[in-house]
Amino acid sequence: MKQLDAQIRKLYFFQLGSAFIGMLLSIYLLVHHTRVKNGIQDTSSFCSFGRLADCDIVNVSRFSEVAGVPLASIGAMYFFTLFIGGLLSPPKSNHFYLSNRLMAWFTTVALGIDLVLLVGIQLISLRSLCLLCCLTYVANLGHLWLNYKRNQLEFKTNSIQNLFWGNQPWSIKGLSAIRLTVFLTSVVVFAGCLTLIPHWTTPESDQQKQKDASVSEFLSNWKTLPQYDIPIEKEDGVFGNPNAQVKIVVFSDFQCPFCRTAAFTFHTLLPSFNNKVLLVFKNFPLDSACNPAVPHSLHAHACTLARLGNCAQQKGKFAKYHDTVFSDFEENDFSGGFDNLKKKLAPIFSESDIDQCLNNPTSLEKIKKDIDLGLTLDLKGTPAIYINGRLITVPLDFESLGRIVQLEEQK
């Protein structure tokens, strides 16, 4: 009997641990969601490993909130409920079995929701996995499995029936009023703390208020903004639906840190808009080696990287090249000489491919064509972003891009 009690206590503590881990993961995802959504984070997260496993895309997508409440916040609340409920219902307590039955139903319903999020949202709609989100699903599954194993120890037959219905009538007579009060109070306090996390992560400031005001004013004047005819050519690197009503053209520089931020923004936002948007990449390297508007070389490798981007496009590898340069290259890589960059590009180009590309004058013709177009538009710097021919002069985030898409769809 003592051995059985010891095993039950062990499983009980493992259950608490799975709920606690799920809660910590969910809190991290809430902070991450807030940072990416509000533009505080402008580079890929540690949990992003390419397009197929990218928590940035998933955690800031249009599916990441329900009625304005982040799913991560709901997940944290759910796991906290499991944790505090288990903590207040230890083995040998009068309401231990009732608590575990309720948690069994709770976790089963949550697993159904997890399945929808994993398959319907991540795999089918976004085509990208959030590995940290998947770990919360594992924590949830682990909690239910541990609950089941505890039932197997005590009830050799009908374990599943005992897990969900029990062998005793449902009753709340043994439920302590004090513990119930502690449970409800803890849940309310934790919910209050969750609502404060976004404010702690992005404190409201005069600068933020000015930004919001400028975005609102910009969008209110959207239809009156000058509109330019910017041709889209087959040599351009593109992402999204070629037949989309909303076409975003970005004049960019592969060595520009602000362009890297813009690339990250579009990388995370575009999957949420499905086939509504086409993103077109055009080159405007701030390098006097190929751009006559630049008096001196601000970015010593920009022209070379632009030419290689054109060659990657011809090889059908532009998306991989674009993400590699903007996501994997660090400032130290650029200062280390071009040989250092070659090593980073090895998955895309061999050294002979690079030499062949840079020795071919046609790779430069496309770059000069983009630069000439940029000069015609009187570009002052990069990135220069045009949506359906209108120059964007305010920061883009999920909300502002969504409003622009809606304005363009109303035509």
Q: Is residue 234 part of a domain?
A: yes
CB 342 within 8 A of CB 358: no
pLDDT of residue 282: 96
Q: Is residue 23 part of a domain?
A: yes
Q: If residue 259 lies in a helix (H) or strand (E), which one and from where to where?
A: helix 257-269
* Domain identity same for 188 and 246: no
Tell me what percent of the residues of the chain surpass a pLDDT of 70. Answer: 94
pLDDT at 152 over 90: no
pLDDT by residue (tens digit) across 190-220?
Answer: 999 998 888 777 766 566 677 778 889 999 9
Please state the domain count of the chain.
Answer: 2
Q: Is residue 216 part of a domain?
A: no
Q: Is residue 150 part of a domain?
A: yes
* Domain identity same for 22 and 105: yes
Q: Is residue 214 part of a domain?
A: no
* Domain identity same for 126 and 27: yes
pLDDT by residue (tens digit) across 37-52?
Answer: 877 777 788 888 777 8
pLDDT at 168 over 80: no
- Of the residues 169, 201, 233, which one is the last residue of a structural domain? 201
CATH of the domain at 95: 1.20.1440
Which token pair is 130?
């959030």
pLDDT of residue 349: 87
CA distance 393 to 11: 57
Q: What does the pLDDT average to over 331-341?
A: 69
Taking alpha carbons only, the member of 287, 283, 284 closest to residue 299 is: 287
Other Cβ atoms less than 10 A from the Cβ of 365: the count is 13
Produce one character per residue of 340-349: b if its CB has 16 or more CB atoms within 10 Å, e if not.
Answer: ebeeebeebb
Q: Which residue has the higher pLDDT, 73 or 300?
A: 73
**DSSP states of 183-203 as a string?**
HHHHHHHHHHHHHHHHHHHS-
CATH of the domain at 290: 3.40.30.10
Q: Is residue 209 part of a domain?
A: no
* Domain identity same for 105 and 252: no
Collapsed DSSP state (helix, strand, coil) of residue 213: helix
Q: Which residues contact 309 (CB under 8 A, 6 or more apart)?
A: 237, 254, 281, 283, 318, 321, 322, 325
CA distance 141 to 131: 15
CA distance 71 to 79: 12
pLDDT by residue (tens digit) across 371-410?
Answer: 999 999 999 889 999 999 999 998 888 788 888 988 888 7
CA distance 86 to 81: 8
Q: Is residue 322 part of a domain?
A: yes
Q: Which residues contact 376 (CB under 8 A, 6 or more apart)?
A: none
* Domain identity same for 340 and 236: yes
pLDDT of residue 172: 62
Q: What torsion do the CA atoms of 284, 290, 294, 295 make, to the nearest 10 degrees?
A: 170
* Domain identity same for 251 and 184: no
Phi, psi of 130 (to 5 degrees): -105, 105
Question: Measured in Å, how far apart are the chain's first and last C-alpha atoms?
Answer: 75
CA distance 108 to 409: 41
pLDDT of residue 309: 92
Domain coverage including residue 337: 222-409
* Domain identity same for 111 and 234: no
* Domain identity same for 176 and 275: no
Q: Is residue 213 part of a domain?
A: no
* Domain identity same for 193 and 233: no
Find where tokens 């592969």 sit. 254
CB 62 within 8 A of CB 398: yes
- Is cis: bond before 361, omega within 30 of 0? no
Beta-bridge mates of residue 239: 279
* Domain identity same for 323 and 282: yes
* Domain identity same for 151 and 226: no
Tell me what percent of the residues of the chain surpass a pLDDT of 90. Answer: 43
Q: What does the pLDDT average to over 91-98?
A: 82
pLDDT of residue 249: 96
Q: What does the pLDDT average to over 95-110?
A: 90
pTM for the full model? 0.80
* Domain identity same for 283 and 345: yes
